[in-house]
Homo-oligomer: A and B are copies of this chain.
């Protein structure tokens, strides 16, 4: 029996919790897709409109905000970013799961707009470990690392709003856990069970 409609997953977690790798692993399954965001920032070398982002003007973006067309939106360095609701819905209707890699503020917006969304929180084993991972990258200035660490703690305080949490102390295990959540959620009994029961009833009626 196929579960026809896809589900919406929000994956949040401080950088350094393996979010990128975990999302990439999920996307290897054709049943899972990213959503394409809308943004007001200009396209970078090689970025394709409609594939990497929908590149729009500030006016167009704000019009979409006014119309309530976003599941969530945010401002980053003076640029707007948002997840268009209709694009997500189209994918879900096609039976695909949609994966949103967004921060906790975005996650809470999505949950408010779509309470059936499934929110997964990725946690570092400890802040010390997170600091080491960020320092190990050697790409970020110390003050940026401090900022990330205090943002991480602020975000963790919202864990109660999330459905699942995964402590990434072993990336392979964390990937398995996220995949298990997706598999389990697909097996969840839907609100409308009549079609499931009907299928077996009809069979019996035919047999009589």
A179 CA to B179 CA in the complex, in Å? 11
- Choose from B121, B162, B185, B193 the contact partner of A184 (Cβ within 8 Å): B185
Task: Produce 1/0 per residue, A133-163, CB < 8 A to B.
Answer: 0000000000000000110110011011011
In the complex, the answer to whether A164 meets B184 with C-beta atoms within 8 Å is yes
Q: With an 8 A cutoff between CB atoms, is A204 at the interface? A: yes
- Choose from B152, B167, B196 the contact partner of A1 (Cβ within 8 Å): B167
Distance of A36 from chain B, by nearest CB (Å)? 27
Tell me which residues across on chain B come within 8 A of A199, comparing CB atoms: 126
In the complex, the answer to whether B159 meets A193 with C-beta atoms within 8 Å is yes
- Choose from B149, B176, B200 the contact partner of A126 (Cβ within 8 Å): B200
A197 CA to B1 CA in the complex, in Å? 40
Could you say how many copies of this chain the assembly holds? Answer: 2
A121 CA to B193 CA in the complex, in Å? 13
In the complex, the answer to whether A156 meets B196 with C-beta atoms within 8 Å is yes
In the complex, the answer to whether A166 meets B187 with C-beta atoms within 8 Å is yes
- When C-beta atoms are compared, the residue in chain B nearest to A163 turns out to be B189
Task: Produce 1/0 per residue, A167-208, CB < 8 A to B.
Answer: 100000000110111011101110001001101110110010
Tell me which residues across on chain B come within 8 A of A160, comparing CB atoms: 189, 193
Tell me which residues across on chain B come within 8 A of A189, comparing CB atoms: 121, 159-160, 162-165
Most buried by B among A121, A125, A156, A180: A180
The 7 closest A-B pairs by CB, nearest first: A184-B184, A180-B183, A180-B180, A160-B193, A181-B184, A164-B187, A127-B203
